[in-house]
Structure 1
Amino acid sequence: MKLRDFMLGVATGLAAAIVIKEASEKISPYVPANQVLNNVKAEFKKETPIDGSWIYMKTEDFDNGVMSIPVYRGGISRMVDGEIEYFEFAADARSGVIVDLVKS
């Protein structure tokens, strides 16, 4: 096998990988909702055990005053000093980062 043939194969494979990655991001540019919920739960578990959690699987628009971004809405409940605390959150659907957290 000549080096030229090998390099042509590597370049073709790399180009195909880039095209497939771009196409998959256009089809589903969002982080899966379950992954977002698991990340939020992991952060809460660092402080206290979690009692319950939920997340809406469909995105909705969140306006922060500057721009509107797609978010997942969800909630966490936990027991602290014998009382249940409830938190609701909004997480960026593209990155999974929490953009709003409210204790209710």
Structure 2
Amino acid sequence: MKWGRFLLGMAAGALGGYLLYKQTQDAPIRPETIVETLKKQYREHMAIVGSWIHVEPQTEEMEGVQYRIYQCGLTGLVDGEPHYLEFKVDADTGHVLRVES
């Protein structure tokens, strides 16, 4: 085996791995993942009966900072009474930025 071909193959593999890593880091978190995470977090507080999410991230400024956000919500029952929660979630990190009831 020639060392030149070996090193070229190593470089191509490293570049491909880096590009794949970069692509997954720049992509927003899947909306379905965010809804499932919220359901798990709030399942202890109420019986979840419905959920929704806008699947296209929107840009919104909050406290002087621009975020790409998902708007979503949960509907649940607490002591037989319906409760509605709306969320603004950072599309890049998955952190909940605001909760409104």
TM-score (norm 1): 0.79
Listed one character per residue, the Cα deviations across residues 32-84 of structure 1 (whole Å, up to 9, x for unaligned) are 11111111111111333201100000111222122110100011011001100
Runs of 5+ in structure 1 lacking a partner? Answer: none
State the number of aligned residues.
101
The more displaced of 79-88 and 5-14 is 5-14
Matched, 1:13 2:9: no
Partner of 1:45: 43
Q: Distance in 1 between matches of 2:46 and 2:7?
A: 54
TM-score (norm 2): 0.81
Q: Secondary structure at the residue paired with 2:56? A: coil
Partner of 1:61: 59
Runs of 5+ in structure 2 lacking a partner? Answer: none
Q: Distance in 2 between matches of 1:20 and 1:51?
A: 38
Q: Secondary structure at the residue paired with 2:94? A: coil
Q: Which amino acid aligns with 2:83?
A: E
RMSD over aligned CA atoms reads: 2.5
Identity of aligned residues (%): 24
Q: Is the 8 A contact 2:39 2:74 kept in 1?
A: yes
Q: Distance in 2 between matches of 1:38 and 1:87?
A: 14
